């Protein structure tokens, strides 16, 4: 199956800093999503982005499918951005089944 690697595994920031999270995948995909898991365990869908660039407020994401990576940008980080960020991918005939990376644990300090 598709392998998904996320980096860095852990990231500590001061409030107001910017950050870039990376997701590499081992095969062609036609489904890629980014999620944020808050400290209470709730998973929130941030982006559905199999290719191209999208922006939502302080968050933006870019997927370069031909080079098999996606980036999540967080600008002017806030303490509420803390949590685990997951990249999940699906491809081929099973593109509705997502394989998750191990996530990036982001801690934003005040």
Partner 1 sequence: SQTIHQWPATLVQPVGSPLSLECTVEGTSNPNLYWYRQAAGRGLQLLFYSVGIGQISSEVPQNLSASRPQDRQFILSSKKLLLSDSGFYLCACGQGVTKLFFGSGTQLSVL
Task: Categorise residue 9: left if φ over 0, alpha if ψ from -120 to 50, beta otherwise.
Answer: alpha
CB–CB of 21/13 below 8 Å? no
Residue 84 binds partner 1 (CB under 8 A) = yes
The span from the CA of 17 to the CA of 104, in Å, is: 16
The burial of 100, by beta-carbon neighbours within 10 Å (0-12 exposed, 13-18 middle, 19 or more buried), is given as: middle
Nearest-approach distance from CB 24 to partner 1, in angstroms: 16
Nearest-approach distance from CB 37 to partner 1, in angstroms: 8
State which residue, 14 or 96, has the beta carbon closest to partner 1. Answer: 96
Residue 42 binds partner 1 (CB under 8 A) = yes
The span from the CA of 34 to the CA of 40, in Å, is: 18
Residue 31 binds partner 1 (CB under 8 A) = yes
Selected range binding partner 1 among 18-26, 58-66, 67-75, 87-95, rule: CB under 8 A: 87-95
Q: Which residues bind partner 1 (CB under 8 A)?
A: 30-31, 33, 35, 41-43, 45, 48, 84, 86, 88, 90, 95-103, 105
């Amino acid at each position: 199956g598709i392998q998904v690697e996320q980096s860095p595994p852990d990231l500590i920031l001061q409030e107001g800093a910017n950050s870039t999270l990376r997701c590499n995948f081992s095969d062609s995909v036609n489904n890629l999503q980014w999620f944020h898991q808050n400290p209470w365990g709730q998973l929130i869908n941030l982006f559905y982005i199999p290719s191209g660039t999208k922006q939502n407020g302080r968050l933006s994401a870019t997927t370069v499918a031909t080079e098999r990576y996606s980036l999540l940008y967080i600008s002017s980080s806030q303490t509420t951005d803390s949590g685990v960020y997951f990249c999940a991918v699906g491809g081929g005939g099973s593109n509705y089944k997502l394989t998750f990376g191990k996530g990036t644990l982001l801690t934003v300090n005040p």
